[in-house]
Amino acid sequence: MSTDNNGSMSQSEYDDRIELSAGSDWHSRPLTDIYAELETSEEGLAAAQARERLERYGPNKVEAEAGTSLLRILVEQYSSALIWVLIVAAIVMAGVGHTIDAAVITGIVIFITLFGFVQDYRAEQSVQALKEMSTTYAIVRRDGEKRELDATKLVPGDVIFVESGDIVPADARLLEESNLRVDEAALTGESVGVSKETNQVDEGTSLAERKNTIYKDTVVERGSGTAVVVETGPESEIGQIATALEEAEDRETPFQTEMDRLGKIIAGVVVGAVAIIAVAELIVGETEPLQVFLTAVGIAVSAVPEGLPAVVTLSLALGARRMAEQNALVRRLPIVEALGSVDVICTDKTGTLTEEEMTVQRIAANREVYEVTGSGYDTEGEFLQDGEATGEAQVAEILRCGMLCNNVDRGTRERDTDGDETGVADTEQEERTYLGDPTEIALFVAAQKAGFDHEELFEAYPRLGEIEFTSARKRMTTVHETPDGDPVAYMKGAPETVLKRCDRELIDGSFVELTDERREAIEAQNEDFAEDALRVMGFAYRPDVPTEQATRPDETVEHDMVFLGLQGMLDPPRPEVTNALSGCLNAGINIVMITGDNAVTARSVGDEIGLRSVTVISGLELEEMSDDRLAEVVEDVDIFARTSPDHKTRILQTLQAEGHTVAMTGDGVNDAPAVKNADVGVSMGIRGTDVTEQASDIVLLDDNFATIRDAVKGGRRIFDNVRKFVNYLLSGNGGEVTMIFTGSMLGFGLVITPIQILFINIVTDGIPALSMGVDPPAKDIMDRDPRPPDEGVITDRIVTSIVGIAVFMTICLLPLFTLNFYGELVPGYDVLEAVAGWNPGYEPSRELAQTVVFTGFVVFEIVRIQAIRYRYGLGLFTNRWLVIAVAVAVTLQLLVLYTSTGQLLFDVEPLALVHWLQIGVAAVVFALLMSLFVKVQDQYFERY
Ligand code: ATP
């Protein structure tokens, strides 16, 4: 469940809820009591025990109300007024004894509802599957070690670890905490952070006051904590109120809104046309009133694209599903439309453009530089000076600092091994690995290369407290107890930040004052590392920490420190990024790198991957810039370096104010506002925090920039496809209405029967339209500029197409009608017959003429579908579903024409070769007219 849904519960409901929950007493019991009841300890459960409990308690998730949805989808099919018009028509028909017509209409009603039902159901299934893909992970202690696993597998008794940015995975009683503050708005409606502590509280304490308990689906704002799970899934506090919160708002997509609006416009036009036809027919008096009624119904149903919203939803859902297979998980369907308009992508560097498998390569300590050998997470490696191994002594202090001021742990992680690349662990396969931030893992591994053992080191230097790393602080400090019993602080962070807090440096075991010269030399060294695209961190320690600050340290600890040196990490660019980047530039999308890293490193990485990297602005410069000045330059900046998360929001707003549609990536807690406000907010599936994920529209399951490019491509493709079938269906409908209207006005009576129109719209048009929803991307999809954000599905060009096609269809089909209805009335018919010696063997008749028009429409629509696709560079056989759909449509049409049941139901005459020839000639003329028209359109309109 998402915290987005908070809004659906009023404050009084929250208050009631808090009253109600007085029943559970986990907060007021001694921990020993809880351990005894849950048969656990601070060491957590054994894996086997947890498995057994999972069976007993069920998965840790709050069930959505399933079951009712099938019925709801079915009922929704009957919400369209047109279905009711058809039902009334069938009843009227049956009443006046036209049983065949009544049966056919009933059949069609059943078909429409089933068709709509299946589409909506499939769409819903896809959306559901997408929802299930966004798994939340939890860190838990099982079998005495840390594991990262799918949060739905948590059980009461598990010991869990939470830190800032996490969504608390279950209700849990705190065992330890450091500076922990939690936003409990999801539960209490009160969005002020609550500081947590471990003390036991009274039984009557209200939910909001139970400081020793953290609750499922609340958000860790700051700090970290360890806790024992007491309730999971439906038994959790949030689970019990889930029914109130579960109602996820099903907002309409902009597509759907546009389709709905369009439907209404068309309905208006149709009602007008129907009224005119009805009056005309009644005055001429040739047609019986019942037939007039049926004509009206037929036109109404045929002209209104009432199946369109369902087709749109389905193609969105299926498209989104395909995007998920390519690692872009769409959290909000409407975003697909915005994706096609993105013209700026603001991206993080670390992990998105780069691999984020970091390795320390160089260390500057003791005024010397050391090369570190070995690659990746392999713990074998040496420390070389001028190519000679030096041993570890020279770098021991800086490495110790790197391992102590570090939150990495060894543990296991459940991995997605079923090959579906969803990133969702659906097997029990596990991998022993490092759990934590890759920057810290690199430091951890570097220390291991020098023989430091994590457990031994932490035993010798137990941690007393921590001042967290945040992107804004750009540093982190931990306080430890030395083997002598004194508190000592270790700090690591951005070199300039660390250096600012040092007054001495450690040289060969003694403290030496940091002169201005030395500071400059260190900065030059930093730059030197950075120019080689290394990510550089500074290290320092403070041996004389006042005891009173040891356990609850604050920033006052972070001064008078002793500088230890620099470590430079290589974070190689992802190989696929260069390609993806040039693809985006080609598609008219500008790329802006926004990184917390230093300008020199950022520029080197930018150069390597082919970013323009010409204009680089630092966070500091940004802060000094006025809004006007920023607006002037923002479009030319390629890299923003040393930024804090709040800079992202400012950059975003400036770009948006300049009229850009911006996709913005983010991972940390503080990135959430920028991600939320971006036109397309992108979060990281692997590295990102839960909170940013909640704020985002798309999750990159592989954290990879190339996936953003694919998502944009996917978005453009879905949009194209929607536009294609909307164009196709509307122009077809327009043709039918114009044809019937013109025929009626010219006094020809009904040129095609309503039942035939229904058949075309629903079967021979409907099925191919649906398959166009899965058309492959256009050839030029990433060669054209982004679509202007205010450009809807229906462009001016499409409007002219609809009108043009309607006219052309009428021009080409009306002569066929007169030919087969009046025969000799049309000059040339006799000649054709005489010259070619063809005798159709049929007397001209209305049925025959209607059949030719009916079949003509079917053939024209097949020509039309290809003409539309041709503009997107798509050949006939590029979509096998379409080939099948067309084959099905043709087969059904032939069955209608040449079986006695078909003839009976649809009131058709079997066509002879000459009629097919007539239709063929008309289709060729139609195709020629269309291509001429396209040439004219090209003069006045954009390509699509
Ligand atoms: P990007 O914004 O592209 O992801 P980044 O990871 O460098 O890049 P931040 O996470 O904001 O951005 O980090 C900013 C700076 O803080 C880093 O350049 C580094 O110097 C420092 N830093 C990063 N991680 C840590 C950490 N775990 N502890 C201490 N300092 C860190």
Least confident of 130-139, 774-783, 830-839: 830-839
Q: CATH code at 467?
A: 3.40.1110.10
| 675 shares its domain with 738 | no
Give CA–CA dist 136/167, Å, rounded. Answer: 8
Instruction: Find the 170 Cα to ligand 1 centroid distance in Å.
Output: 30
Inside any domain, residue 383:
yes
- State the residue range of the domain holding 598: 344-354+574-705
* Tokens coding 62: 């709050």
Tell how far the Cα of 472 is from the centroid of ligand 1, in angstroms: 9
Q: How distant is the alpha carbon of residue 840 from its chain centre?
A: 58
- Domain-ending residue, one of 569, 595, 618: 569
Evaluate: CB of 522 within 6 angstroms of ligand 1: no
Instruction: Mark whether 443 and 504 lie in a shared domain.
Output: yes
Q: How many CB atoms lie within 10 A of CB 265?
A: 10
Residue 66 has pLDDT above 70, yes or no: no
User: Lowest-confidence range among 332-336, 579-583, 831-835, 874-878?
Assistant: 831-835
- Predicted pLDDT at 7: 39
Q: What ranges in 502-552 are assigned the alpha helix state H?
A: 516-531
* pTM higher than the cut 0.75: yes
Confirm whether 578 is domain-assigned: yes
Residues 525, 383 share a domain: yes
Do the Cβ atoms of 550 and 487 come closer than 8 Å?
A: yes
Q: Which of 469, 571, 646 to mutate to test the pocket of ligand 1 (most atoms within 8 A of CB)?
A: 469
Of 76-90, 371-385, 484-498, 534-548, which range is least confident?
76-90
d(CA 478, CA 545): 11
Say yes or no: CB of residue 492 within 6 Å of ligand 1.
yes
Sign of the alpha-carbon torsion through 843, 845, 850, 851: negative
**Residue 886 and residue 756 share a domain:** yes
> Do 364 and 349 fall into the same domain?
no
What stretches of 405-460 show up as alpha helix (H) in DSSP?
438-449, 454-460
318, pLDDT greater than 80? yes
State what percent of residues in the chain have pLDDT above 90.
Answer: 35
Q: How confident is the model at residue 306 (pLDDT cuts 50, 70, 90)?
A: low
Q: CATH number, domain at 872? A: 1.20.1110.10
Do 610 and 723 fall within a single domain? no
Question: Above 60 in pLDDT, residue 93?
Answer: yes
For residue range 849-864, what is the model confidence (pLDDT) as tens digits? 999 999 999 999 999 9
Do residues 741 and 886 both lie within one domain? yes
What does the buried/exposed string (b/e) look like for 220-239 if buried means 16 or more CB atoms within 10 Å of the residue's CB? bbbbbbbbbbbbbbbbbbbb
| Residue 837 scores a pLDDT above 60 | no
Tell me how far the alpha carbon of residue 685 lies from the centroid of ligand 1, in angstroms.
Answer: 18
More confident residue, 119 or 473: 473
Predicted pLDDT of residue 426? 44
Domain boundary among 522, 550, 569: 569
Give tens-digit pLDDT for 908-917. 989 888 889 9
* Tokens (6 digits) for 315: 């193609």
In a domain, residue 625? The reply is yes
535 Cβ contact partners less than 8 Å away, ≥ 6 residues apart: 350, 358, 439, 568, 569, 570, 571, 597, 601
What is the CA(144)–ligand 1 centre distance, in A? 31
Residue bearing the bigger pLDDT, 296 or 449: 449
42 inside domain: no
Lowest-pLDDT range of 10-14, 278-282, 592-596: 10-14
26 close to 34: Cβ distance less than 8 angstroms = yes
- Catalytic one among 348, 437, 679, 702? 348
Which of 163, 398, 439 should be mutated for ligand 1, with most atoms under 8 A from CB? 439
- Are both 748 and 889 inside the same structural domain? yes
One domain for residues 378 and 289: no
Check if 359 has its Cβ closer than 6 Å to any atom of ligand 1: no
Mean pLDDT on 835-850:
69
Q: Is the CB of 315 under 6 A from ligand 1?
A: no
- Residue with the smallest CA separation from ligand 1 atom 16 is 474
pLDDT interval class at 495 (50, 70, 90): very high
Question: What local confidence, expressed as pLDDT, does residue 304 receive?
Answer: 64
Atom of ligand 1 nearest to the CA of 476: 29
Question: Distance from the CA of 729 to the center of ligand 1, in angstroms?
Answer: 53
Q: Is the CB of 26 under 6 A from ligand 1?
A: no
The pLDDT assigned to 794 comes to 85
Residue 271 within a domain:
no
134: pLDDT strictly greater than 70 = no
- The pLDDT of residue 826 is 52
Does residue 726 lie within any of the structural domains? yes
Could you tell me if residue 328 is inside a domain?
no
| 173, HSE (Cβ side, Cα atoms, 13 Å) | 24
SS3 label, residue 376: coil
- 409 part of a folded domain: no
Q: What is the pLDDT of residue 158?
A: 94
Question: Which residue's CA is the nearest one to ligand 1's atom 14?
Answer: 596
Q: State whether the beta carbon of 537 lies less than 6 angstroms from ligand 1.
A: yes
202-252: pLDDT as tens digits = 877 777 788 899 998 888 888 889 999 999 988 888 777 654 434 334 445
- Flag whether pLDDT at 839 surpasses 70: no
Q: Is 230 in a helix, a strand, or coil?
A: strand
The answer to whether the CB of 475 is under 6 A from ligand 1 is yes
Residues 738, 808: Cα–Cα separation, whole Å = 10
The CATH number of the domain where 650 resides is what? 3.40.50.1000
Test site for ligand 1: of 346, 536, 597, 603, most ligand atoms within 8 A of the Cβ: 597
Q: Using a 6 Å cutoff on CB, does residue 440 contact ligand 1?
A: yes
Q: Is 348 among the residues known to form the active site? A: yes
Tens of pLDDT, residue by residue over 358-372, are 899 999 999 999 999
724 and 646 in one domain?
no
- The reply to whether ligand 1 has any atom less than 6 angstroms from the CB of 597 is yes
**pLDDT given for residue 255 in this prediction:** 67
> What's the token pair of residue 613?
């990297």
Say what percent of the chain tops pLDDT 70. 87
CA dist., res. 571 & res. 52, Å (int): 42
Distance between Cα 467 and ligand 1 center (Å):
15
Shared domain check, 700 and 723: no
Tell me which of 70-79, 289-298, 832-841 is least confident: 832-841
pLDDT of residue 658: 92
From the CA of 543, how far away is ligand 1's center (Å)? 25
pLDDT at 425: 42
pLDDT greater than 80 at residue 429: no
Query: Do 475 and 616 have their domain in common?
Result: no
* Residue 584 near residue 709 (C-beta atoms within 8 A): yes
- End-to-end Cα, the chain, rounded Å: 40
Amino acid 725: pLDDT: 86
CB of 642 sitting under 6 A from ligand 1: no
Tokens representing residue 543 in the block: 């041996």
Say whether pLDDT at 825 is over 80: no
More confident residue, 79 or 428: 79
Structure confidence at residue 3 (pLDDT): 36
Q: What is the mean pLDDT of residues 434-445?
A: 90
- The count of domains in the chain is 3
Q: Using one digit for the tens of pLDDT, what is the confidence trace for 267-276?
A: 777 778 778 8
**Which of 680, 705, 730 is the endpoint of a domain?**
705
- How far apart CA 863 and CA 840 sit, in angstroms, is 25
583 Cα to the center of ligand 1, angstroms = 28
Does the C-beta of 405 come closer than 6 Å to ligand 1? no
DSSP assignment of 862-884 equals: HHHHHHHHHTTT--TTS-HHHHH
